[in-house]
């Protein structure tokens, strides 16, 4: 269960797909340079391989336990988490005024991919902490910020997000948890929350919960929800920890995967909380964090897929079985064309999804930090548009590749001790949480496409067309070697343009019924185009790795980019075939 870190792959995309120069041009990032990037990626790689990766299997086999109102994390997790905090990985992209390093998110994506690959279940704890601290940073009072942020950003304290209730999952407007003013500026929170990731544990000294609840007489539905901060232990004026707050874990879910991550049922019984942001604006406050959280779930998909890929590659290099053409002796199965095809499918699919995730993060960095407002605005629209692709495509690719990883192992893949099965199980959560992938697709066609009349999408398509045009600037030989990729990108862009126009003019139900197909189509084209961009830029800058990328892009083109037009039929017919079959007959015929 070794894990090789794809440092070069990440570094390549940073330099040739993401517009790193544009990020470096932001005043906040003037200190970012190639040496720093290289040092950080190498450091994260070593830490991931040596400290985190060895705890992954153990966490799967030894679940956290609930004992007397406290969750005890899986063996070895506390120490690994402490090492993580000491190494300073959590504050990488955190604000410098609270002790963070203030580095771009895109670098954090590269770093976190490796951390998640090494141990996704453990990696969720800092991910949740980061989301919670971002929400506090954006919406909480200066007093709350002063009390909590620094220790959350360095990881001494962790964070948790308490949103879901049994009747309120995708539809948070249904939630019932109550918040009653105590008269002293605090609120008494009561109710039950489920699916609270790292809701309790013994790795960090304190756990800061962000809780959605309703004030008395709040409007019904999603407009009556407020956001509260509730620490596990109260913080005394001197910063020391006081007595325990009135909420606790009352159950742990028995899950398909990410066993090392405690998923808690939390009971709030007049717990003390502080309001974050305005009354009844809790959902909006949460949603400002959503883009980032969704992006990082996409990164998790890539990460688990990559770990599964590395395991499959290692197995295929070792396992001798059957004769391979051109070899006299029996040889490792990597020589079998269909095994090699599976490995290439994993590698290429992951690289494409990784490119989307990194481009999304880069857009976010520019949206926050560019000097020029217009640049910030268009980057923000681009980030918003790419986020559902990053989340859904990244997480779907993760599941698909983890499944291929099992397949490469043959019978051994179905036996738990190999570890391939763990990746298959772990990966399955990513298409579900932080908004199911169906919700991502709806977000894409609704908020991101139709709401602005297609403006951001047309800008993206124009950019992709520009990539296609740049291929012709390459010398003949290089352009020739990109041949099939260029053809498929052309066809893909035609399909994407047609699909976009269809969705823009479709009625609501047709658009919603086509949403997943549209997201899949866009993802294949965007990832393919980004990878081609990477080859074009790499060749121009004479990066010696560009020739390998070109070979990878060839495979990506025939196996992924070429699929784009096949989604058109679903978009063309919309709701017709989806609702045509009589609902009452669905159980049989």
CA dihedral 309, 310, 312, 314 (to 10 degrees): 160
Q: Supply the minimum distance, in Å, between the C-beta of residue 545 and a second copy.
A: 5
> Closest distance between a second copy and the C-beta of residue 576, in Å?
7
Q: Is 249 helix (H, G, I), strand (E, B) or coil?
A: strand
Least distance (Å) between residue 571 CB and a second copy: 9
Residue 467 CB, nearest approach to a second copy (Å): 19
User: β-strands 65-67, 70-72: how paired?
Assistant: antiparallel
Q: Name the packing angle between helices 142-153 and 120-139 (round to 10°).
A: 160
Residue (390 or 520) nearer to a second copy, CB: 520
Nearest to 75 by CA among 119, 12, 127, 134: 119
Give the nearer residue to a second copy in terms of CB position, either 305 or 431.
431
434 is catalytic: yes
Q: How far apart are CA 243 and CA 407, in angstroms?
A: 51
* Element of type H or E holding 244: strand 241-244
Cβ within 8 Å of residue 566, ≥6 positions away:
none
Distances (CA, A) of 490 to 15, 386, 471: 24, 20, 11
Under a CB-based contact definition with an 8 Å cutoff, are residues 421 and 415 in contact? yes
Residue with smaller CB distance to a second copy, 94 or 123: 123
- Least distance CB 165 / a second copy (angstroms): 11
CA-nearest of 387, 393, 374 to 449 is 387
Q: Which is nearer to a second copy, 253 or 267 (CB)?
A: 253
- Give least dist CB 170 to a second copy, A: 6
Instruction: Give the separation between CA 109 and CA 303, rounded to whole angstroms.
Output: 10
- Residue 95 backbone class (left: φ over 0; alpha: ψ -120 to 50; beta: rest): beta
Q: Which of 292, 345, 383, 434 is catalytic?
A: 434
Distances 421 to 122, 184, 306, 556 between C-alpha atoms, Å: 18, 52, 14, 25
Nearer Cβ to a second copy (467/535): 535
How many other CB atoms are there within 10 angstroms of residue 272's CB atom? 19
Nearer to a second copy by Cβ, of 171 and 205: the residue is 171
Rounded to the nearest angstrom, the gap between the alpha carbon of residue 381 and the centroid of all alpha carbons in its chain is: 18
| Residues tagged active-site | 434
């Amino acid at each position: 269960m070794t894990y090789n870190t794809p440092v070069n792959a990440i570094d390549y995309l940073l330099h040739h797909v993401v517009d790193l120069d544009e990020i470096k041009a932001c005043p906040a990032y003037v200190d970012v340079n190639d040496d720093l990037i290289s040092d950080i990626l190498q450091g994260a790689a070593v830490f991931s391989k040596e400290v985190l990766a060895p705890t992954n299997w153990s966490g799967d086999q030894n679940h956290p336990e609930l004992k007397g109102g406290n969750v005890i994390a899986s063996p070895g997790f506390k120490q690994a988490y402490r090492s993580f905090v000491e190494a300073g990985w959590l504050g990488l992209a955190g604000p410098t005024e609270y002790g963070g390093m203030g580095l771009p998110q895109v670098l954090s994506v590269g770093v976190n991919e490796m951390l998640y690959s090494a141990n996704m279940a453990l990696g969720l704890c800092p991910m949740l902490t980061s989301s919670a601290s971002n929400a506090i940073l954006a919406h909480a009072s200066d007093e709350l910020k002063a009390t909590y942020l620094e220790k959350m950003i360095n990881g001494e304290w962790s964070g948790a997000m308490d949103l879901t209730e049994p009747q309120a999952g995708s539809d948070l407007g249904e939630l019932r948890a109550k918040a009653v003013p105590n008269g002293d500026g605090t609120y008494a929170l009561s109710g039950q929350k489920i699916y609270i990731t790292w809701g309790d544990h013994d790795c960090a000294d304190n756990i800061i919960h962000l809780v959605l609840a309703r004030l008395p007489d709040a409007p019904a539905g999603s407009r009556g929800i407020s956001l509260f901060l509730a620490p596990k232990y109260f913080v005394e004026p001197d910063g020391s920890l006081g007595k325990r707050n009135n909420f606790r874990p009352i159950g742990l879910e028995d899950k398909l995967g990410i066993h090392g991550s405690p998923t808690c049922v939390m009971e709030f019984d007049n717990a003390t909380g502080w309001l974050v942001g305005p009354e009844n604006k809790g959902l909006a406050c949460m949603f400002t964090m959503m883009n980032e959280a969704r992006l990082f779930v996409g990164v998790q998909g890539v990460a688990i897929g990559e770990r599964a890929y590395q395991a499959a590659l290692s197995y295929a290099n070792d396992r001798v079985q059957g004769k391979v053409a051109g070899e006299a002796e029996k040889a490792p199965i990597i020589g079998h064309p269909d095994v090699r095809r599976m490995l290439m499918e994993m590698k290429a699919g992951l690289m494409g999804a990784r490119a989307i995730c990194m481009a999304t993060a880069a857009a976010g960095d520019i949206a926050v930090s560019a000097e020029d407002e217009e640049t910030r605005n268009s980057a923000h629209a681009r980030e918003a548009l790419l986020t559902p692709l990053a989340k859904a495509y990244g997480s779907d690719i993760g599941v698909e590749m983890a499944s291929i990883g099992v397949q490469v192992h043959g019978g051994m893949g179905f036996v738990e001790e190999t570890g391939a099965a763990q990746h298959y199980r772990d990966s399955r959560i990513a298409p579900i949480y932080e908004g199911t992938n169906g919700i991502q697709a709806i977000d894409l066609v609704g908020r991101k496409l139709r709401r602005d009349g297609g403006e951001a999408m047309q800008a993206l398509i124009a950019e992709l067309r520009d990539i296609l045009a740049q291929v012709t600037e390459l010398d003949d030989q290089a352009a020739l070697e990109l041949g099939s990729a260029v053809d498929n990108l052309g066809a893909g862009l035609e399909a994407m343009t047609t699909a976009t126009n269809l969705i823009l003019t479709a009625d609501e139900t047709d658009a919603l019924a086509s949403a997943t197909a549209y997201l899949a189509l866009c993802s294949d084209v965007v990832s393919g185009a980004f990878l081609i961009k990477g080859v074009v830029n790499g060749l121009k800058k004479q990066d010696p790795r560009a020739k390998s990328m070109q070979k990878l892009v060839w495979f990506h083109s025939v196996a992924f980019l070429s699929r784009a037009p096949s989604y058109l039929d679903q978009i063309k017919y919309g709701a017709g075939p989806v609702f045509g079959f009589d609902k009452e007959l669905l159980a049989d015929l």
